[in-house]
Amino acid sequence: MSSEAIKLENITKVYKLYNRNRDRLKDSLGLTKKKCYTEHYALRDVSMEVHEGEMVGIIGVNGSGKSTILKIITGILNPTGGTMQINGRIAALLELGAGFNQEYTGLENVYLNGTMMGFSEKEIDERLQNILDFADIGEFIHQPVKTYSSGMFVRLAFAVAINIDPEILIVDEALAVGDVFFQAKCYHKFEEFKKMGKTILFVSHDLTSIAKYCDRVILLNKGVKLAEGSAKDMVNMYKKLLVHQLDEETLEDVNGKSSIHEKAADSKAWKSHFEINPSILDYGEKQAEIVDFAVIDQYGQFSSIIEKGSTCQVKAKLYFHSQVKNPIFTITIRNKQGTDITGTNSMFERVETGTVEAGETRIVTYTQRIDLQGGDYLISLGCTGYVGDEFKVYHRLYDLVGMTVLSDKNTVGFYDMNTVITVEKG
């Protein structure tokens, strides 16, 4: 077998988009010489190589062509142009439930999938116990899969995929629906596969997993391969892409040539670079109002994706509608379950804020080293204070914006204590 498990050269996928069904019919029957459709390039001249024993990640915003390229590699879609070479048996875990008959039981689907992969009934029998043990769905294996939860679906699909002796495993986001314990078991299996010299192609929005497990990462955008390289470099480029700050100079550093120019205008509001939580809790008497905010990473870029162990800043801009004496500026970081993980305010930190007059603006900067475990968090900002002995909430924005912490080493609990361990002979 070649050292190249997957080789794509100038793969292009074009879809014809019609405004009317009759235009589609006319075009299919050759009844019109006039072009009655527009072309949409899902992929444009994408070339890539994946070598034996590598775990390669593919990242990009929605609509970048990630799933399309996997479907072409697995033979679900045919490319419009380009050439492809695959060396090895592929097992794919793509769209949830793909390849399963909804009316069949889980057990019947195991045999169906195995047969489709070219295995005899005897060969499937030999692998059956390993599949059942890994899926761990109990008696549900005898129930129609249409009764399964999404988590049970992915358990069985992954168990089948890894037990048919694939040389190439392709996974597209499906693990996101599994519980944390099942995900841990799957990633452990990835490590085993890599040690066995098998190849893994992994598409995910989970940048922590991409950074931790992938040897190399390919960045796609709007059907074009922007760059490929180390997980850290590609994740940093992806972060810039999300906030429209991926410029020609950055791409020249990686590719040696210019590809796009999407420099953000300096006049934009900070918050325009972020996705604001649609379920934000916004309340207060509004003597002071948070009118803008930003999260800035260690490189000075607007980004809500922060590397564990790095120092970042959260900024809040407040406009004061009334005079406020000694306002208290607050920040809280919570997990997705709503538990307050950490937080502080200007009173705790003994920062004198003085009297702010109506019409004035204050910019508050919270600078901190992020030692949180890898995962997703929510940032809340606020401004409170006292009038005499009465506590006042001027403005609070709870769960304002998400923050993703990238980590290649997680410990127990919420925080990494950065413990130094030494072992010596007694």
- Per the CB < 8 A criterion, the answer to whether 14 and 176 are in contact is no
In the block, tokens 């910019």 appear at 363
Predicted confidence at residue 247, as pLDDT, reads 57
- Per the CB < 8 A criterion, the answer to whether 408 and 211 are in contact is yes
- Per the CB < 8 A criterion, the answer to whether 374 and 412 are in contact is no
- Torsion angle defined by CA atoms of residues 360, 317, 279 and 416, in that order, rounded to the nearest 10 degrees: -140
**pTM of full prediction above 0.85:** no
- Per the CB < 8 A criterion, the answer to whether 269 and 263 are in contact is no
Residue ranges of alpha helices (H) inside 150-262 are 150-162, 180-195, 207-213, 231-242, 248-255
Predicted confidence at residue 263, as pLDDT, reads 35
Predicted confidence at residue 244, as pLDDT, reads 65
Predicted confidence at residue 259, as pLDDT, reads 36
- Per the CB < 8 A criterion, the answer to whether 324 and 289 are in contact is no
Residue ranges of alpha helices (H) inside 50-105 are 66-73
Taking each helix axis from N to C end, the angle separating 231-242 and 248-255, rounded to the nearest 10 degrees, works out to 160
Tokens of 340: 């307050």
Q: Which domains does the chain have, with CATH numbers?
A: 4-255 (3.40.50.300), 270-406 (2.70.50.60)
Mean pLDDT by 10 residues, the chain (426 residues): 83 87 76 78 94 92 90 91 92 71 90 84 90 89 89 86 86 69 79 88 84 90 92 84 62 44 52 88 94 92 90 95 96 89 95 96 95 92 95 95 87 87 81
Predicted confidence at residue 63, as pLDDT, reads 86
Give the DSSP H or E segment for 315. strand 311-320
Q: Is 235 helix (H, G, I), strand (E, B) or coil?
A: helix
C-alpha distances (whole Å) from 38 to each of 27, 29, 32, 223 are 12, 17, 15, 16
d(CA 40, CA 16): 6
Other C-beta atoms within 10 Å of 361: how many?
Answer: 12
Predicted confidence at residue 177, as pLDDT, reads 59
Predicted confidence at residue 261, as pLDDT, reads 31
CA angle 308/312/316 to nearest 5° reads 140
Other C-beta atoms within 10 Å of 376: how many?
Answer: 13
Predicted confidence at residue 311, as pLDDT, reads 94
Type of residue at 92 = A
Predicted confidence at residue 317, as pLDDT, reads 95
Taking each helix axis from N to C end, the angle separating 150-162 and 106-116, rounded to the nearest 10 degrees, works out to 40
C-alpha distances (whole Å) from 150 to each of 97, 131, 147, 306, 377 are 9, 18, 10, 30, 24
Tokens of 61: 């915003």
Contacts of 77 (CB under 8 A, 6+ apart): 13, 68, 71
Contacts of 149 (CB under 8 A, 6+ apart): none
Give the DSSP H or E segment for 29. helix 21-29
Type of residue at 378 = L
